[in-house]
C-alpha cells in the first residue's frame, strides 16, 4: 500500500522556460558567490558592496545573509553542529534556486565547516559556485567585534563560538581569497571590485 506524501510518489516536473531562457532574458549567467570567513571578517559588507556594484552595471543579484536568514527561513535552528549543517544545507538549496533563476546569488555566512560548503558546491557542478574566503586574522575580527559576540565568547557566556571554542576550517581551493595587504584590510569597494572582475572574466555578466 502506498502512503500519500511518500517521496517515492514525487516526480520532477519540467517547465518549457528553463535556465537558458531566463539567463538570456537577464543577459547574465546565474551563479552563487559564497562568502565565508570568521564573524567580523567583513562578509556582509562585501556582499552588499558586490551587489551594489552589480546593480550599477544593470545586473540582477540577491544577497542571502546568514543573520537575516535566521530571522525567517532558519529561525528554528540553533548553533549546534547538526543545526549549523542544516542551516548551510537550506541556504545552499535556496542559493541553487536563485542561480537557476538566472540571478547572481551572494551568500554571506560564516559556514565554518568545509564539508558543508563542499556539499553546497556539489549542488552546482557546472563551475557556477564561486567560493570567496575572507581570510582576516582573528585579532582583527575581535578588534572589530561589532556585535559584541567575541567579548561574550571570551567571557564564557556564549559556547561553541567559531574561532574561540569551535573551529573554522578554511577553504582549500577557493576561487577568491581576500586578505590584508601589508597589515591593512583593503576597502570594501576594492575587494568587491576583485569579485566582480572575476565574474566578468568568467562570463557570468553576459549571456553568450
Strand 129-135, strand 31-37: pairing: parallel
Residue 72, classed as helix, strand or coil, is coil
For 139, the grid coordinates are 585579532
Q: Is 111 a catalytic residue?
A: yes
- Angstrom distance (rounded) from CA 117 to CA 4: 34
Nearest to 28 by CA among 77, 98, 123: 98
For 37, the grid coordinates are 570567513
Half-sphere exposure of 48 (CA within 13 A, CB side): 7
* Active-site annotation holder among 49, 51, 111, 128: 111
- Residue length of the chain: 208
Q: Say which DSSP state 160 is in.
A: S
Nearest to 45 by CA among 99, 204, 53: 53
**Catalytic residue positions, numbered:** 111
Amino acid at each position: 500500500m502506498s502512503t500519500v506524501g511518500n517521496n517515492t510518489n514525487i516526480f520532477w516536473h519540467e517547465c518549457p522556460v528553463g535556465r537558458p531562457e531566463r539567463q538570456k532574458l537577464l543577459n547574465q549567467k546565474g551563479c552563487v558567490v559564497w562568502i565565508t570567513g570568521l564573524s567580523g571578517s567583513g562578509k556582509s559588507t562585501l556582499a552588499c558592496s558586490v551587489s551594489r556594484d552589480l546593480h550599477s552595471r544593470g545586473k540582477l543579484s540577491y544577497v542571502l545573509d546568514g543573520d537575516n536568514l535566521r530571522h525567517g527561513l532558519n529561525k528554528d535552528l540553533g548553533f549546534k553542529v547538526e543545526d549549523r549543517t542544516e542551516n548551510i544545507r537550506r541556504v545552499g538549496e535556496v542559493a541553487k534556486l536563485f542561480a537557476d533563476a538566472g540571478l547572481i546569488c551572494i551568500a554571506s555566512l560564516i559556514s565554518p565547516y568545509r564539508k558543508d560548503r563542499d556539499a553546497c558546491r556539489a549542488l552546482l557542478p557546472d563551475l557556477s559556485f564561486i567560493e570567496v574566503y575572507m581570510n582576516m586574522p582573528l585579532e582583527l575580527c575581535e578588534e572589530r567585534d561589532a556585535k559584541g559576540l567575541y567579548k561574550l565568547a571570551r567571557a564564557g557566556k556564549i559556547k561553541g563560538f567559531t574561532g574561540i571554542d569551535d573551529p573554522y576550517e578554511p577553504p582549500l581551493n577557493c576561487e577568491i581569497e581576500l586578505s590584508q595587504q601589508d597589515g591593512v584590510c583593503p576597502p570594501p569597494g576594492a575587494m568587491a571590485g576583485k569579485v566582480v572582475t572575476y565574474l566578468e572574466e568568467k562570463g557570468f555578466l553576459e549571456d553568450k
